[in-house]
Chain A
Amino acid sequence: MTRILGVLGLLVVLYTTLIASHPNAGKLDNLIGVANLQGRFGIITLGAALVIIVGGIDLSVGAVVGCSAVLFGVMMNDGIHPFLAVPIVVAFGGIVGLTNGLLITRLKLQPFLVTLCGMFVFRGLARLLGGTLGQASIIEGHPDFRDPLRTLRYLLIGKSPSDGELLFPAQFVLLLVLAGVVGFFLHRTAYGRYWYAIGHSELAAKYAGVNVSRQRVAIYMTCSAFAAFTGVLLFLDAPSVQSDNAGFAWELYAILGAVLGGCSLRGGEGTAVGMVLGAMVLPVLENLVNFRGDASDVIPVVIGLTLLLGAIVDELIRQRSRVHK
């Protein structure tokens, strides 16, 4: 609870500073743009956070996002209809997660190691698949894909079919919907109980008759499927994607969002609301740095220090509450 209030407080401070920083910052256009980014990061945060809750880690998220975005483009280039390509890409993510999950649960490999390897493999795969891909070139090759692509772009990104202007933060809406589903499973069903139990004490779950491996695999599949879907969003939103940097380092943004939102890296902790709030921090922060006119090089430093500060405050609160127990 304190964690949620904490990140909520941080968001209030960030938004206030942002709006005060520049007259254009508070305009609806800008806020919608920020919300759209929050939505996209939020979706991978949900997946990463679930993995963290069951006591794992997924470092392959960013590479899967990139690989999926490229795969999406390549498939359409080869004439696969956009409406068909989306589910195929998501299924690709599911298979990636299945592989991660099976390696971790059956061969007992460490999640860090498995997904670190995945990070290289899928980044490399993206580069093998293609270099730079954009919607314009696809439409050039397949004029009949123009309308389906525009429909997808409107539904999933919120961009106008006619002029491509951002009308509403569809990615944020998607985040809320998915967070609702995640929250439902996490807080209202037996599966959620298992995930918390597994993350905190795998043995306790096992002795209670929970099929720990199956739950873990399901979570890794969810995480990678979310990442793959985010790849689709990235492709639809950007004029073009480049295989060597699409989604680069996003796994860290996802982990960051999860931790800011109250997931403990030790596992067994975290809420759906927290994940959404945690994922909202980074895009605001970036936007704020941009509006202040600071060099964009300063962004990583600001992010790092903000998280560190958060961690320190969190630990101080934790220690204090322990003394008062």
Chain B
Amino acid sequence: MTTPRLQVTAARKEFPGVIALDGVSLTLAPGEVLAVVGENGAGKSTLMKIVAGVYQADAGDVLLDGAPIHFAGPGDAVAAGVILIHQELNLAENLTVLDNLFLGREVTTGGGLRVLNRRAMAERAAGLLKRVGLPASRIFARVESLAPGEKQLVEIARALGTDVRVLIMDEPTSSLTQRETETLYEVIAALKAADVSILYISHRLAEVKQCADRAVVLRDGRNAGELAKADITHDNLVRLMVGRDLKQFYPKTHRTAGGGTPVLTLRGLRYRGGPETAASFEVRAGEILGMAGLVGAGRTELSEAVFGVRPIVAGELLLNGQPLRVSSSADAIEAGVLLVPEDRRLHGLVLAESVGFNLSLPNLARLSSRFGVNRSEEADLHRTWIERLRVKTPSAAQPVGLLSGGNQQKVVYGKWLARGPKVLILDEPTRGVDVGAKAEIYALIDDLAGKGVAVWMITSDMEELLGMSDRVVVMHEGHVAGELQGTLTEEAVMRLATGGTAT
């Protein structure tokens, strides 16, 4: 057998209070694409960061082409050809694409002065961008002006510009469109052909099936199993990840057939900075209205307008048939129109504060008397929702930022459920949430709809959309392109989302 490109043996890493990795091993052959799969908290990120020199393992060995490596920092790893494309983008947004492509390895003249040789860099940059399917005209664009998918491609192009031997991709398609994803697959195939080894981390099981030669599954910081290409199936992966079978992933049990009366109605709604075309649709009691669309279709913006964060400039908003005026999120919350935002770390939670603090935040008025916050009532509220939503936390005093993505998301649900929502707007309800917590969140959403809450679910996850929705509204470039009911298919959704018409 040839020497593996990368070999990790019994890697162990402990953080205060948590054993993130407890003896994980893996091997990666030259030119192989190895998927690393696991729930959040399974240790994938920690493992990747050890390989990429961000963390140092407490025990265990990492061998690169048979030689032990001890990276002191990401710089050493980059120099050795181990490149991590991080889940959170690591581009300097204020610089141009060109600057980012060569950040840390500029082509320079003048010796120690390191004068930039822009022409040489621009020439190479054009080639790199071409390989990831970006137009050369983007070279001098500031990164902040690019779409999220384009940024991701720039990061990949940057890795291509180095003598990369091991490329680690952490959720590389999280912000890519379908087309860009296909470009990515082509890039991966080309890298494989060039003998580059790839560690591919993804939540999207379909992708793993598509491009991995082998999959390693981690669970609770240990190796849970390994699947050869032929054995990579949704069921096999989920079983290894969760350690048990998941019967009903997308429950549709409690809901009223066909939905009840309209709860939230948008009539010709337009918001500041939004498109010229107005949006009209309704969300009914006891149904889950799915909203599909490509990234940038204006779904999040529309929901923010309804939630009172973006000023409404035209049209009407009705709640149970009565006009509803929202000039701030406080109005929306008061009326029972609640938003679980797309970016929970930014908009959903005060990360540095405790679970309890976050659960209390929108409920403080109810918990307060003239003598301040009633501590025992507050503690009751914390206990109730931590138990009901099965939030995995040592206590209500735990900083919410230390919980896993799924448990953070549960806290966001909890703070709203404690208020009793009439309309629940879910923007990417399970993004960055592991499979186990996903199933729980789906059951919760289903249960809420069953209790008569009108659920408006914005999602880019096609499986989730088709699995959970009773009805689907598709947005395209800022307007409602169409509505689908009955048997929902991916083709019908995509046709509308890309500007086609319903048939």
Contacts and interface: CB of A to CB of B under 8 A. Distances in A.
A23 interface: no
Contact of A209 (B78, B110, B116): B78
A205 B104 contact: yes
Nearest to A210: B104
Contacts of B110: 189
A196 interface: yes
A199 B91 CA distance: 12
B178 interface: no
A192 to B, nearest CB: 8
Contacts of B494: none
Given A191-B114, A200-B95, A205 B108 contact: no
A200 B84 CA distance: 20
A323 B273 contact: yes
A188 interface: yes
B103 A211 contact: no
B296 interface: no
B53 to A, nearest CB: 10
Contact of B92 (A189, A204, A211): A204
B267 interface: no
A206 interface: yes
Contact of B94 (A188, A190, A268, A325): A268
Contact of B90 (A189, A193, A207): A207
B61 interface: no
A196 B86 contact: no
A64 to B, nearest CB: 27
A188 B115 contact: yes
Contacts of A207: 74, 78, 84, 86, 90
A197 interface: yes
Contacts of B158: 208
Interface string B233-257: 0000000000000000000000000
A204 B90 contact: yes
Interface in A166-221: 188-191, 193-194, 196-197, 199-201, 203-211
Given A188-B115, A210-B75, A268 B92 contact: yes
A244 interface: no
Contacts of A191: 114
B49 to A, nearest CB: 11
B106 interface: yes
A205 B74 CA distance: 10
B105 interface: yes
Interface residues of A, number: 24
Contact of B106 (A193, A204, A205, A325): A193
A190 B114 CA distance: 6
B428 interface: no
Interface string B85-117: 010111111110001101111101010011110
A201 B92 contact: yes
Interface string B169-208: 0000000000000000000000000000000000000000
A251 interface: no
Contacts of B91: 201, 204
Interface residues of B, number: 31
A200 B99 CA distance: 13
Contacts of A205: 92, 103-104
A200 B93 contact: yes
Interface string A296-325: 000000000000000000000000000101
Contacts, number: 79
Among A196, A197, A211, A268, residue most surrounded by chain B Cβ atoms (within 10 Å): A197
Interface string A258-282: 0000000000110000000000000
Contacts of A211: 75
A268 B95 CA distance: 9
A193 B116 contact: yes
A189 B114 contact: yes
B75 A197 contact: no
Contacts of B75: 206, 209-211
Contact of B108 (A190, A197, A206): A190
Contacts of B108: 189-190
B92 A197 contact: yes
B79 interface: yes
Contacts of A194: 103-104
A197 B103 contact: yes
A211 B78 CA distance: 12
Contacts of B74: 206-207, 209
B135 interface: no
Nearest to A325: B145
A200 B92 contact: yes
B321 interface: no
Contacts of B113: 189
B116 A208 contact: no
Interface string B429-463: 00000000000000000000000000000000000
Given A193-B95, A209-B78, A203 B90 contact: yes
B420 interface: no
Interface string A145-164: 00000000000000000000
B73 interface: yes
A231 B286 CA distance: 74
A18 B193 CA distance: 70
Contacts of A208: 78, 90, 100, 103-105, 158
Contacts of B78: 207-209
Interface string A36-60: 0000000000000000000000000
Given A196-B92, A208-B78, A208-B103, 13 more contacts: A189-B108, A189-B113, A189-B114, A190-B106, A190-B116, A193-B95, A196-B94, A201-B90, A204-B89, A204-B90, A206-B75, A207-B84, A268-B94
23 contacts: A189-B108, A190-B108, A193-B116, A196-B99, A197-B95, A200-B95, A201-B91, A203-B88, A203-B90, A204-B91, A205-B92, A205-B103, A207-B74, A207-B78, A208-B90, A208-B104, A208-B158, A209-B75, A209-B104, A210-B103, A210-B104, A268-B94, A323-B273
Interface of B: 73-75, 78-79, 84, 86, 88-95, 99-100, 102-106, 108, 110, 113-116, 145, 158, 273
Going nearest first, the 8 A-B pairs with the smallest beta carbon separation are A208-B104, A209-B75, A197-B92, A190-B106, A209-B104, A208-B103, A209-B78, A190-B114
